[in-house]
Amino acid sequence: MLTIQETMGMGIIGPAAVCDLRMNEAQLASLTAAGFMGIICSSYFWGYITDKKGRRWTLLRTITISNLCSLASMFTVTFTGFFVMRFITCIFVAGPSFVAATYLSEFCSHRIMVRSITHLYMFTGFAMISCPAWATLFLSSGLIEFEEKLVGSLTLRPWRVLGCLYILPGVVAFLLLLLLPESPKFLLMIGETKRGLDTMEWISRKNTGRTLSEDQMKRLLAYQEHVQVKRRKEHQNFFRSMLDDAMPLVRKPYGGYFTCVCMVMFVLGLLTHGLGIWYTAMRNRCNMRQGNTNGMTFCQVLFVPETGPFIETESDLDVVCSDSFKGFNDSFVLGFVYVVLYNISWASLFCVHKKVMFVFSLVASSTFGFLLIFATNHMLQLFSLVFLIAFPGIIIGLLGGSLLVFVPTYLRGKALCISLMWCRCGAAFGAMLVGSKIQYNCELFLLAISILPLIAACMEGYLPL
């Protein structure tokens, strides 16, 4: 939830901050991508650190610093300052964005790992609901309207308070982590035998009410012996060590599968986050459109200028100094669809093969993308856009869980962080592409976007599903 609110939340905060920060269209597009760029730049570093220092260790520190930086960013008074602080914030948001899944996976058996990770990603849907819920209260309800002069040119307005509230999941996560132990698999991997066995004892008592048996102790010690052998190679040079630690991922038996996962993640990130970060702004523009829109396609509603006896032809592309929103009901729809689809995906894992779910979801996403080009019904346009974005989002969790099962513990943090780094690359590329190019040929742009899921679906035979 923290990751989604700090990245996708910029799709709400950015347009609301246009007046105060005097942003133009290009700056607004780059601001939405700033968070993804911060995550991209630091992802592998945190993957390396989490495999060296620990999952819980990394989570506690990155969550704390990201929360502090996020608060500071809400009190900047220039676009440059805001952009830089959002970039720095998401350098640390990169930690919890993938370490949480790695941490959870090491408390699960292989039998339930994919289902557990899929359930974890369901909170993406809750974040998609909480973002517009808070925004409805502060930006569109009319109940909270204020403008208080603080220091110099700094003015406290609702969007700044809204941005501060988006760190709440991080605060809750930090407090909960204080009550939880370090990953037992990581502790055994680094030779912390006593702490690792104590953690497994704690898990056994929580789950079964009994202590570990002698046979279970022997198997844990045998596991420790195996994973410690994998970590004996040491290097003096930090950067060389970072590079060499990742080399097994691009060699047999992992290389082909891992490369394909990264390529698919790029496509999924472009669709889910790159297009998704503009979802609220696009639906808001549709809902604020005046006049008769019957018989108009999605692209026509967005970009064909309004004309009338008292309305001059206008360019819908100019950023207007307005923080009014009317699209939050549609944002709730996206969040609820995410939650429902994640639960369906979780339940389907009991009886449907992962490859079937993968191909079906991507073909469905592509179908709704093609439908969005031609649909003229308002509700059909809404749900076509929702499913075009949501189906690839479900696959991110499914593919991430499958990757964690596929790679061993000593590579798990790095594997997930690199794959999600490619997902964020797709998101940053998509966010800038949508923000700067969709208006020039909307239909052709949507056609190209809709073909991408089919390309990803063709790779299913090369994935560890």
* pLDDT at 309 exceeding the cut of 60: no
pLDDT tens track for 85-112: 999 998 998 888 878 888 888 887 777 7
The CA distance from 30 to 334, in Å, is: 24
| Residue 251 vs residue 342, higher pLDDT | 342
CA atoms within a 13 Å half-sphere pointing along the CA-CB vector of 317: 15
Average pLDDT over residues 3-10: 80
Average pLDDT over residues 248-258: 78
* pLDDT at 142 exceeding the cut of 90: no
Please report the pLDDT score of residue 155 as a whole number.
81
Average pLDDT over residues 259-267: 89
| Residue 410 vs residue 34, higher pLDDT | 34
The token pair at 179 is 């009550």
SS3 155: strand
Is-contact 395 362, C-beta < 8 A? yes
Cβ neighbours, 10 Å, residue 191: 12
**pLDDT band for position 135 (cuts 50, 70, 90):** confident
Cα angle, residue 59 at apex, residues 53 and 61 outer, rounded to 5°: 80
Lowest mean pLDDT among 133-147, 268-282, 407-421: 133-147
pLDDT tens track for 182-229: 888 888 887 788 888 888 888 888 888 888 788 878 887 887 777 664
* pLDDT at 438 exceeding the cut of 50: yes
- Which domains are delineated in the chain? 2-190+247-307+323-462 (1.20.1250.20), 191-230 (no CATH)
| H or E stretch covering 131 | helix 123-135
SS3 149: strand
Please report the pLDDT score of residue 308 as a whole number.
47
Average pLDDT over residues 123-142: 78
* pLDDT at 169 exceeding the cut of 70: yes
User: Rounded to whole angstroms, what are the CA distances from 21 to 80, 82, 154, 216, 408?
Assistant: 9, 8, 10, 60, 47
Which residues lie below 8 Å from residue 87, measured CB to CB, with a gap of 6+? 34, 35, 37, 38
Residue spans of alpha helices (H) in 136-213: 158-165, 168-177, 184-189, 193-208
Find tokens 């204080």 and name the residue: 178
Beta bridge partners, 155, equal: 149
The token pair at 11 is 């799709």
Is-contact 266 426, C-beta < 8 A? yes
* pLDDT at 331 exceeding the cut of 90: no
Average pLDDT over residues 417-428: 85
Average pLDDT over residues 35-53: 82
SS3 143: coil
| Residue 31 vs residue 223, higher pLDDT | 31
Find tokens 């499914």 and name the residue: 398
State the pTM of this model. 0.76
The CA distance from 212 to 136, in Å, is: 50
% of the chain exceeding 70 in pLDDT: 89
* pLDDT at 175 exceeding the cut of 90: yes
Tally DSSP H helices, then E strands, for the chain. Answer: 22, 2
**pLDDT band for position 399 (cuts 50, 70, 90):** confident
Is-contact 257 464, C-beta < 8 A? yes
Smallest CA-to-CA distance from 332 within 37, 126, 185, 146 is with 126
